[in-house]
Amino acid sequence: MKARRATSATAPATAPTTAPTTAPTTAPTTAPTTAPTTATVDVPGIAFDVTAPDHGRTRVAEFTVRDFRNLAQVDVTLPSEGIALVGENGQGKTSFLEALAYVEQLRSVRGARDRDLVRFDQPAFHVHATVHGPDGVRRLGAGADRAGRKKVTRDGVELPRITDALGALPSVLLAPRDVTLVSDGPAERRRFLDITLALTSPRYLRALRHYRAALDRRNAALRDAARHRRGTDGVAAWEPALAEHGAVLVAERRAWVRHHADEFTRLSYAIGEPGESAMAYATPLPTEGNGEAALRDAFERAREHDLRRGSTHAGPHRDDLALTLDGRDLRVVGSAGQQRTGAIALRLLEAATLRERRETLPVLLLDDPFAELDNRRAARVLDLLLEAGVGQVVLCVPRREEIPDRFTRLSRYRIADGALSEGE
């Protein structure tokens, strides 16, 4: 285990000025040819198998960051079981987790544009990770410059399509800001569904890409027709594609919600919510019949209204993931603690989806995860995290005394001014 520390004042002189086309040459390119001996790290409540083949878990070994937010230069080898990263607010803990999550989603989990992730006064950012998983070892790299140009590499080869690397590092991030999944509007919950399903279903990802492209074109046609007082033929031309791909989105979302609805209720109760928590997919489309035909009819009926408004007001981009407590909207009636409980339950379902569909334990990225929770709920959340087994953990807390007992044997790192150092 090693870490090299660098100050955050300047970037290294040899850092590339554009997004990388190759990953670091020192990373291994193949999985070990011999099976390692078995050993465990015994943490109270957890048994980390740190040398067994990664048949059912994903982990990051070498991780390199250049000029990502306030992280000037990070080079760290993460232990198999993970690390506990301690640092005051504003020092780079969340940025470190965001950089790790970027390897999976190829976008900011905080919704920032790529150009806004580049450290001040630098031309580009770069992240590289050596990922061990059930399929072997992969060297993944991603970067973007201030113009928004992005490059993604896998095993040193630039990928022609960025989506080919999407989901290459299965991980789940839990943070206090997840409460917006419940407290904010439907767009937050649609985004949750889109990310969870796009990372685990190639069919959903393809449909989402095509649907968004057709939606942009129909909206452009609506504005053009209104501006030039033209008919709606140009608008109608995009509706078959919207209906075809939108039907896939609705069907997969409904199936996911049906599969996990009872578990959402159980998790909410297990965290400490005594009321009846429920989850359902909210859409005006009929539950029976041909979904594609129903969407075609919806687009046709809304065409004149959409023409006046300049945008498309029917379709899965307007649906919601309805969360209720005792039959009432959790967003409206829930306290801050109840909304936080609902958000944590959703993140636990995200982890379960990765386990089920990707057949691996995802990396757990925990950003001060028990903040704003009372001790009882915090203990129950930790129990639920451990219930299905633990893979690699990256835990970030502001003070070392906030590390839960069951994570106290994780290797300790500190972060200050965007620089990592090993030990306390």
Q: Is the per-residue pLDDT at 26 higher than 90?
A: no
Q: Which of 196-210, 269-283, 362-376 has the lowest mean pLDDT?
A: 362-376
Q: Is the per-residue pLDDT at 27 higher than 70?
A: no
Which of these, 319, 346, 398, 376, lies nearest to 183 by C-alpha position?
Answer: 346
Give residue 34's pLDDT. Answer: 35
Q: Is the per-residue pLDDT at 47 higher than 50?
A: no
Give residue 50's pLDDT. Answer: 36
**Helix 239-271 with 336-358: angle, nearest 10 deg:** 110
Which of these, 355, 358, 323, lies nearest to 178 by C-alpha position?
Answer: 323
Which of these, 113, 48, 121, lies nearest to 80 by C-alpha position?
Answer: 48
Superfamily name with CATH number, domain 199-329: RecF/RecN/SMC, N-terminal domain (1.20.1050.90)
What pairs with residue 125 in β-bridges?
Answer: 144
Give residue 55's pLDDT. Answer: 57
Give residue 346's pLDDT. Answer: 98
Give residue 196's pLDDT. Answer: 97
Cβ contact 69:92 at 8 Å: yes
Residue 121: pLDDT band with limits 50, 70, 90: very high
Q: Is the per-residue pLDDT at 315 higher than 50?
A: yes
Using only C-alpha atoms, the chain has a radius of gyration, in whole angstroms, of 23
DSSP 70-97: TEEEEEEE--SSEEEEE--TTSSHHHHH
Give residue 238's pLDDT. Answer: 97
Q: Is the per-residue pLDDT at 13 higher than 70?
A: no
Residue range(s) of every CATH 3.40.50.300 domain in the chain? 3-170+360-422
Q: Is the per-residue pLDDT at 150 higher than 90?
A: yes
Residue range(s) of every CATH 1.20.1050.90 domain in the chain? 199-329
Give residue 56's pLDDT. Answer: 84
Mean pLDDT for 219-226 is 95
Cβ contact 292:247 at 8 Å: yes
Q: Is the per-residue pLDDT at 216 higher than 80?
A: yes
Cβ contact 347:385 at 8 Å: no
H or E segment and range at residue 151: strand 150-154
Q: How many CB atoms lie within 10 A of CB 313?
A: 12
Alpha-carbon span 337 to 109, nearest angstrom:
23
Residue that wins the pLDDT comparison between 95 and 46: 95
pLDDT in tens, 182-212: 999 999 999 999 999 999 999 999 999 999 9
pLDDT in tens, 52-95: 345 588 999 999 999 999 999 999 999 999 999 999 999 999 99
Q: Is the per-residue pLDDT at 348 higher than 60?
A: yes
Mean pLDDT for 129-146 is 94
CA dist list (Å): 143 to 61, 64, 219: 19, 12, 31
Q: Which of 150-154, 250-254, 256-260, 390-394 has the lowest mean pLDDT?
A: 390-394
Residue 289: pLDDT band with limits 50, 70, 90: confident
Q: Is the per-residue pLDDT at 272 higher than 80?
A: yes
Strands 363-367 and 59-68: unpaired
CA dist list (Å): 375 to 173, 178, 338, 378: 21, 19, 15, 5
Q: Which residues of 67-79 are buried (b: 16+ CB within 10 A; e: fewer)?
A: bbbbbbbbbbebb
**Helix 239-271 with 375-387: angle, nearest 10 deg:** 120
Arithmetic mean of pLDDT over the chain? 87
Give residue 35's pLDDT. Answer: 35
Judged by DSSP in three states, 271 sits in: helix
What pairs with residue 386 in β-bridges?
Answer: none
Alpha-carbon span 77 to 183, nearest angstrom:
37
Q: How many CB atoms lie within 10 A of CB 235?
A: 25
CATH of domain 3-170+360-422: 3.40.50.300
**Cβ-based burial of 121 (10 A; exposed 0-12, middle 13-18, buried ≥19):** exposed
Q: CA 80, 84, 90, 91 torsion: positive or negative?
A: negative
